[in-house]
Structures are given as C-alpha cells and as structure tokens.
C-alpha cells in the first residue's frame, strides 16, 4: 500500500509515486503531440504495454513511453 505524502503545511497531498512511475495521461498527451501529425494515432497504455497505431493500421508497442516513441520513430524512419 502506498503512503500519502505530507505537504510542508502538514496536510496530505496524495499517494507518493515512485521515481520511475510515469504519469500515463501526461505521457500519452506528449506522444500524441509528437506523432499525430506524422500519421500515428490511438495511443494508449494498459497493463504495462504502451501502443500506437500507424496510418497503415500497424500496431506499434513498447513497455515504456520512451520505448514506444523509439518504435514509432524507427517505423517512421523506415518509411522515409
């Protein structure tokens, strides 16, 4: 169970995240911002797997947002 973090004023601010935990909504928004104009869409994260769909319908995956971005970049570069 995660402990709640205390604010300097002594109030509780919510559960503490690990240093390597990713804010999924923020990461997905950044991936969409970076890749939507190049034909990638359907960005999602579930059960530790991050995915996107190319304009040709290919599903690209990674176990982290960075790994997914690298997979999308490799796919995009292969098409150039």
Query: Does 55 have pLDDT greater than 80?
Result: yes
| Average pLDDT, integer, range 11-37 | 80
User: What is the maximum alpha-carbon separation in the chain?
Assistant: 55
At residue 1, the pLDDT reads 45
At residue 22, the pLDDT reads 72
Note the pTM of the prediction, 2 decimals.
0.73
**Distance (Å, rounded) from C-alpha 53 to C-alpha 41?**
5
Nearest CA-CA partner of 71 in 56, 55, 47, 53: 53
| Average pLDDT, integer, range 65-69 | 96
> Rounded to 5, what percent of the chain is helix, strand, coil?
40, 30, 35
- Classify 33 as helix, strand or coil: helix
């Amino acid at each position: 169970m995660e402990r709640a973090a205390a604010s300097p004023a002594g109030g509780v601010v919510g559960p503490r995240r690990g240093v390597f935990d990713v804010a999924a909504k923020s990461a997905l928004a950044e991936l969409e911002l970076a890749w939507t104009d190049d034909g990638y869409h359907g960005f999602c994260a579930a059960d530790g797997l991050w995915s996107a769909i190319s304009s040709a319908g290919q599903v690209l995956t990674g176990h982290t947002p960075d790994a997914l971005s690298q997979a999308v970049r490799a796919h995009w570069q292969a098409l150039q």
